[in-house]
Chain A
Amino acid sequence: MKKYPVETSLSYPKKGAMGKTGSWRVFKPILDKKKCVKCLRCWIFCPEGSIHREKDDSVSIDYDFCKGCGVCANECNVKAIIMEREEAKKK
Chain B
Amino acid sequence: MALKDFPVDECLLQGNASCPGCPATVGLRMVLKALGKKTFLVVPACCTAVIESLYPHTSFDVPVMNIAFEAAAAGASGVEAALRQQGRSDITVAAWAGDGGTYDIGLQALSGALERGTNFIYICYNNQIYSNTGIQRSGATPYAAWTTTTVSGKTEFRKEMGEIVLAHHIPYVAQTCISYPEDLYGKIQKAKSIKGPKYIEILAPCPPGWRFSMDKTIEMGRLAVDTGAWSLWECENDVMTFNGKSKLLLEKKVARKPIEDWIKYQGRFSHLFKPERDEERLKAIEEHTDHLWERYRKCYGKI
A residues near B (Cβ < 8 Å) are 9-21, 24, 39-41, 43-50, 53, 57, 62, 64-65, 67-71, 73-75, 83
Chain A residue nearest in CB terms to B60: A13
Given contacts A16-B15, A65-B15, contact A47 B22 (CB under 8 A): yes
Distance between Cα atoms of A20 and B16 in the complex (Å): 9
Question: Hey, which chain B residues are within 8 Å of A75, CB to CB?
Answer: 218-219
A17 contact from B17, B30, B217, Cβ within 8 A: B17
A40–B25 Cα distance when bound, in Å, is 17
Tell me the chain B residues, 47-78 only, with Cβ under 8 Å from chain A: 52-61
Partner of B18, one of A48, A53, A73, A74: A48
Q: Is the CB of A11 within 8 A of B56?
A: yes
Among B19, B30, B215, which residue has its beta carbon within 8 angstroms of that of A70? B215
Residue of B with least CB distance to A55 = B8
Contact call A12/B215, Cβ cutoff below 8 A: no
Report which B residues bind A (CB closer than 8 A): 3-4, 6, 8, 10, 12-23, 25-26, 29-30, 52-61, 181, 213-219
Instruction: Say whether A57 contacts B4, CB under 8 Å.
Output: yes
Chain A residues closer than 8 Å to B52, beta-carbon distance: 11, 17
Of A12, A44, A48, A49, the contact of B3 (CB 8 Å cutoff): A44
Query: Are the CB atoms of A13 and B14 closer together than 8 Å?
Result: no
Question: In the complex, given contacts A17-B58, A21-B16, A44-B3, what are 13 additional A-B residue pairs having Cβ atoms less than 8 angstroms apart?
Answer: A13-B13, A13-B57, A13-B58, A14-B57, A14-B59, A17-B54, A17-B57, A20-B15, A48-B25, A64-B14, A69-B217, A70-B214, A71-B21
